[in-house]
Structure formats: structure tokens, C-alpha cells
Amino acid sequence: MRRTFSAACSLWLWLAVAAVAQTAVDPPPGSGAAAAGATAGATGAGATGIESFLRSFPGRPVQGFNLMPPVPRGAPAPVPQPEPAPQPEPAAFREHHPVVVELYTSQGCSSCPPADALLAEIATRDDVIALALHVDYWDYIGWADRFARPGFTKRQKAYARAAGDHAIYTPQMIVGGAEHLVGLRPVQLVGLIDRHGHVPSQIRLSLTRQGEALRIELAAQPALPGPAVVQLVRYRPEETVRIEHGENAGRVIRYANIVTEWAAIAEWDGRQPLTLDASAPGSDPAVVIVQEQGPGAILAAARLR
């Protein structure tokens, strides 16, 4: 009972203090329109004495206070985000390029003229890039082949090392940088050309001539497993030669697609598209060959006549 009376007295005492504070804060009625307007603006319409009393303390919010203790609120639950849709892989390129056939020959080799004639025959095909590379290791027998280049002999030796061979021969044909044919083998040659021609390439290769230069554009899809060598080849379409000495003395031989220049112009990682310009003066046809290092398989080839 005493506790109830004491609590009631405390409540009435607190309300009395609040009323006195309200009287001190709020001016009495009729004290002036300006004062009433200012009080209404500061305390808000319909404010109670307790509210005005609490608002008189600095740091208290002007509106929206509550005598009840605040209810603790946890952080909002994260909204689940949808998984991004998987992006489809770009479609692989399926390009078909002419098949490169390299003939290693010499004007001083008596076994070479039939192979020279066979190369001239397949050189008329649009799906074949036939190239005659004249080597210089027959020059010692008394007739120097004026088409021969030491670099072509070096290239043939590099093919032999890559294949594990210990000797080089003429005539020799290499199809697509991978298949080696020694001697005259027309049936096998035609079969290899057809087989390589039906295998699509993952490389897109385009050539355009810009005055004395070639614009070369390359892209691969999917990316190549390793780097490749970009090579520029120039050749003379045809020339007839009268041979006066050596094993072919007295013969007149027609040669086709005589390579005059074979140069590596870039190394390509096969991952990012590549655009480059290469000097190609003159009217001789130009060929661009993309080949595995080694030399290895030819991955793409294109020609501008």
C-alpha cells in the first residue's frame, strides 16, 4: 500500500514539474499573435505539456519522439540476387583454306623434271597453293640453279629434323607442312591434298592489297594452343629454262610458281586477333602462311595473285 501511494505521489510530482516547465516554455494565451505563431511553429500544433517539456532539452528530435524505449532492429536480410545466365561460348571457326604443297627441287637433279611437271599441273587448282623451292646443294656438279636460295635448303633441313630424318632428298613434296613425299608419287599427292582440303581451320585469314603493301588480318576461334609463325611468300608464276650443263644438260624445262622470297614477318600468339601490314612491292603473287613452329603443320594460307 505504501509502495502504491509512494509511486502515485512520484507520478503526481513529476506531472507538476512538467506543468511548471510547460508554463515557463509556452507563453500564456493572449501574449501576442507573433509569439503564438512562433510557439506553434517550434512545438507543433496540439503538442502536450510533456512534449513541450521534452522538446526544450537540446539534442532531442523536434518530431517523432516516443516515450517508449526503441525496439532494436536487426540488419535487413540480404535480398538474394539471381545467378547470371551463363554466356554461350563463341562458335568455332570452320574456315577452308587452300592446301600448301612445297616442292624441293633443283635444275641439277635428273629426277626432278617429272616432279616439276606435276607441280605445274596442280598449280592450276584454286584449292592448292603450289610452291617450288629450288635448293642449292646440286650446284656443285657444274650447273648453278639461278632460282636456288640457301634459305630454301635450310628450310628443307628443318623439316627433316622435325620429322626425325637424317637426310634430305630431291624431289620432295611436303603437303600442309606435315606430310612428306620423296620422289614422284602423284596418287598419294592427290589423296593428301583432298584429305587436308576437307579439314576445316580454326583461323580466319584475310588479305587485301593497299598499294605496295598487304593488309593481313588474323583471328582464331578457339584460341591456338601455342604460338604460330606468320610468313610472307612471293613467287614467279612461270619461267622456262634451257639447262646447258649438269645432269639435265640440253633439256628445256618449264617451271611453275618459283619461290623468290620466303620470310617470317611475325609471331602470333593465336589468342588475340592480329592485324599487320607487310611490304609487297611488284606484281608477283603473294602468299601468307600461318604455320606451327618447327616448322610444323600449316594452319592457314591465303593468296593474292
- State if pTM tops 0.75: no
Reply yes or no on whether the pLDDT at 30 is more than 50: no
- Residue whose C-alpha is closest to residue 239's, from 120, 80, 90: 120
Chain segment 75-100, per-residue pLDDT in tens: 566 777 787 777 777 899 999 999 99
Q: Please, which residues have CB within 8 angstroms of residue 173's CB and are 6 or more apart in sequence?
A: 101, 102, 103, 104, 115, 119, 180, 181, 185, 189
Q: What is the pLDDT of residues 133-185, one digit of tens each?
A: 999 999 998 899 999 999 999 999 999 999 999 999 999 999 999 999 999 99
pLDDT beyond 60 at 275: yes
Concatenating the DSSP letter of every residue in 34-69 gives: HHHHHHHHHH-TT--HHHHHHHTSTT--SS---SSP
Question: Mean pLDDT across the stretch 223-243?
Answer: 97
pLDDT in tens, 114-147: 999 999 999 999 999 999 999 999 999 889 999 9
How far is 90 from 69, CA to CA, in rounded Å?
Answer: 61
Q: Measured at the alpha carbon of residue 73, what is the angle toward residues 70 and 79, in degrees to the nearest 5?
A: 155
Q: Identify the residue with better confidence: 261 or 12.
A: 261
**pLDDT band with cut points at 50, 70 and 90 for residue 49:** low
Residue 72 CB contacts under 8 Å (≥ 6 apart), including other chains:
none
| Section 232-258 average pLDDT | 97
Percent of the chain with pLDDT over 90: 69
Does residue 240 surpass a pLDDT of 80?
Answer: yes
